[in-house]
Amino acid sequence: MAGSRHSGEREPRVVTPLAGGGWTFSRAGGKQNPILAWLVFDNGDVKAVAVDLQGLPYYPTGDGTDPGIVFTSPLPPIGDGERPIGTSASE
């Protein structure tokens, strides 16, 4: 983020961290790595936080600056008999 702001603009601030919630990320078919937390910023951005092999925070972006990153939800896709939460089988 540093250097991407115009002079006089402040960097976005973290409003709250959220638990990773079972989300994972991978690089082009590689092994699944856990998302440990999500940082929510005051400008509405959300950034994933993982930990590298040295135990340091790593921020996989999936926005093209980190090619090949794929985020995977812990929830199964809706379809093939799956129903959205709060619906019954008769709906």
Other beta carbons within 10 angstroms of residue 90's beta carbon come to 4
Tell me how many domains the chain contains: 1
Residue at 39 is within a domain: yes
The yes-or-no verdict on residue 62 having pLDDT over 80 is: no
Residue at 77 is within a domain: no
Residue at 8 is within a domain: no
Q: Alpha carbon of 49 to those of 39, 78, 79, 80: distances in Å? A: 7, 26, 30, 32
Residue at 78 is within a domain: no
Residue 70 or residue 7, greater confidence: 70
Residue at 23 is within a domain: yes
- pLDDT, the chain, mean: 78
* pLDDT for 6: 61
Residue at 65 is within a domain: yes
The yes-or-no verdict on residue 3 having pLDDT over 50 is: no
Other beta carbons within 10 angstroms of residue 23's beta carbon come to 19
